[in-house]
Structure formats: C-alpha cells, structure tokens
Structure 1
Amino acid sequence: MSLHDDAVLVLKSYDDQEELRQLYLDHLAEHPDGLWKACEAGHVTASALVIDPERGRVLLTLHKKLGRWLQMGGHCEPGDETLALAALREGVEESGIAGLALLPGGPVRLDRHRIPAPCNWHLDVQYAALAPADAVEEISDESLDLRWFAYDEVAGVSDESVVRLLERARAAL
C-alpha cells in the first residue's frame, strides 16, 4: 500500500472534524502528489505532540523558521510507509527521544494552516506520542530549543492549534 493510500484510509476512518476531513480527502483525490512538499496547492503533513502524562507535561519545539513553540512534525518523506510512522519519525527526529509510542486509535486532530509561497497550505494530521519515563530530549537542527511545559502553561506559550491538540490528546489518554 502506498503512503497516499494509507492517508486516504486514515482520513476515511477518522470520525471527527467532518468538513476538514472531507477537505483533506478532496485534496488527495485532486492531487496525486498531495502528500509532498512540491505540491503547490498544499500538502498533507504529520505531527506528534509528545506527552508525559505522569508528570502532566508536553514537550514543545521552538520552531526555527516560525519562532513559535509547536508540536513536533513536518513533511512526509518517500520512505514513510504510513502517516502514523511519518508522525512518529518526526517526533523522534525533532525531540531526540527514542522509544516514543503513538497513542492508539489514530490521529487525534486535523489542523489546516497557511504557509508561505510557493505552497499555500499544510494539511496537518496530528497524533499524540507518549514519552517513556526516562525520556531525555535532544535539540535537533530543525529547532531553536526544546522545553517541557506543564499542561496549564501551553496556552501562554503556543497558539490555539496546539492548545486544541493538547485538549484532544488528553481526552484520548
């Protein structure tokens, strides 16, 4: 099965955010390259919010290009077999934490946001990943900083999208 086929199946089985889910499905139907950065109409991305539920905190990255505290995530790559594995790969690459495990049940949220030209949109499929008890983060080349934030601190440092992602992830725990 191709990554494109997996993305369609994941989105068809996602049972929330109906309008946005359909927009993603329409995008993939209209754009066979809709998972790749080269698709100027926009592309599907995968992200993972790294959570430490035992300590009531999340790990956010200070994004190098945007200068904002966000979840780990980014573009799909040719070697990615599934959206879930793309999200997990991004989570591990950007956090430096081996042993992350995605919450079962698929994505917890979808978020569509504008990005600068030449592309127009990121259609982000957002997962939640549990950090192991002994997690030690390591800053990647894609990040200015990494920091753990208590759940109640996230609204003060990040945007509404991350706050909603955290709410959904906590509900899925």
Structure 2
Amino acid sequence: MKRDSLLALLASYEPEPGLEAEMHHDTVDFIKRNPDCFERSLLAGHITASGWVLSPDKDAVLLMHHRKLDRWFQPGGHCDGDPDVKEVAIKEVMEETGITDLQALKEGIFDVDVHLIPARKDVPEHYHYDIRFAFQAAEGQDIVLNNESKDVQWVPVSKVQDYHDSESIMRMVRKTSVL
C-alpha cells in the first residue's frame, strides 16, 4: 500500500510533546482515513513535504518568500501522488531554490506540521499535512529563483523570527541546535 512507508516513517518519529505530538497524531489519522492522501485533488487536505536547509556552516537557513502566501517559509510543496516524501522534499528544494547538493542531517523526519491553507480561486481552504526533513547544503551553490517565490535568502538562524515567527517555524529553529 502506498501509505505504508510514510506510516512506518511516522511511527519511528518522536515528535515534541504538546502541539507537534497532536499534529503527528492528526497526520497519522488523516493518512489512515484517506488512501488518496498524496493527491492535491483531495480537497480537505493532502500530504506535503518540505526541507529545512541549513548552510554549510549551519549558521543560516534557506527561506523563500512565497509568492501566493506572501510570507517566508522553508521550501516545500505537494507530493502530487508520490509517496516518497523525502524525495519530494529534495525535489521541491531544488526546484524552488536551485540548491541541488544536499546532505540529510537527520535520519527520518525532522518535524511534522499541520496548517490551514486559505481558499484561493477555485480551491477551498484545506490542510497541508507537512512532513519536514533537515538538510545541509554543500558549499558554493548559487540560489536560483523560480516563479513560486518573490525571493530566496540564507537567513541567519538567530534572525529567522524577523522573517516569520510562527510556532511552526520557531519549533524548527529550536530543533536546529541539536543537528
């Protein structure tokens, strides 16, 4: 079954107590109830994947200013039917930032988040069940913008709250200290 590998990955991941643990539980429940959870056509919500990409010296994180949502986020996106969420995260980082040489900083999942996406045109508001992975970029790579972002920058980890101070982002900042 397409969902088994993600369910196994989630079973081996220990979320932070509290909010992340609740979102982890909600994500597992959502996957079990929805065989088409990887499809963006599932209008209630769908699985997404993203990458928390640290600079070679681990002092900065790669953030993009999302064109549609007009906020700073880590790169990521829809699975579009692909159940290999880690590969989806890598592909999204490459497509949205031009950074192609990445090394995993943690085996398995780095973070799990569930967030509401506002309605837009003919797509109703819906949830993204985001599976996040931590990577380190190799030296000497140039950032390349695509049409999904207004900007992409290396942001010092100590300054991320100046760009986006939501609990979702700040939780990843806290976790960065153990990578």
Establish whether TM, by shorter chain, passes 0.5.
yes
- Deviation of residue 146 (structure 1)? 0.7
**What code does the residue aligned with 1:88 have?**
I
Q: How does 1:1-173 map to 2 (within 5 A)?
A: 2=2, 4-16=3-15, 17-54=20-57, 56-78=59-81, 80=82, 82-117=84-119, 118-160=124-166, 161-171=168-178, 173=179
Deviations 1:105-157 (A, max 9, x none): 21111111111232421111111111101121111121111111111110011
- Deviation of residue 37 (structure 1)? 0.9
* Higher mean C-alpha deviation, range 156-165 or range 142-151: 156-165
TM-score, reference length from structure 1? 0.90
* Higher mean C-alpha deviation, range 83-92 or range 17-26: 17-26
SS of match in other structure, 2:177: helix
Deviations 1:41-81 (A, max 9, x none): 21111000111151611111000101111100010033x35
Query: 1:126·1:165 contact (CA, 8 Å) conserved in 2?
Result: no
What is the rounded CA distance, in whole Å, between the counterparts of 1:56 and 1:18 in structure 2?
Answer: 27
**What code does the residue aligned with 1:109 have?**
D
Q: Where do 5+ consecutive residues of structure 1 fail to align?
A: none
Query: 2:113·2:129 contact (CA, 8 Å) conserved in 1?
Result: yes
Residue 85 and residue 109 in structure 1: after superposition, are their counterparts in 2 closer, same or farther (change >3 A)?
same
- Deviation of residue 98 (structure 1)? 1.4
**What code does the residue aligned with 1:56 have?**
D
What is the rounded CA distance, in whole Å, between the counterparts of 1:46 and 1:65 in structure 2?
Answer: 18
**What code does the residue aligned with 2:44 have?**
A
What is the rounded CA distance, in whole Å, between the counterparts of 2:46 and 2:156 in structure 1?
Answer: 31
What is the rounded CA distance, in whole Å, between the counterparts of 2:50 and 2:164 in structure 1?
Answer: 15
Residue 22 and residue 81 in structure 1: after superposition, are their counterparts in 2 closer, same or farther (change >3 A)?
closer
SS of match in other structure, 1:139: coil
Stretches of 4+ moved more than 4 A in 1? Answer: none
* RMSD of equivalent CA atoms: 1.6
**What code does the residue aligned with 1:49 have?**
W
Deviations 1:70-109 (A, max 9, x none): 100010033x351111111111111101111222321111
**What code does the residue aligned with 1:12 have?**
A
Q: Where do 5+ consecutive residues of structure 2 fail to align?
A: none
SS of match in other structure, 1:149: strand
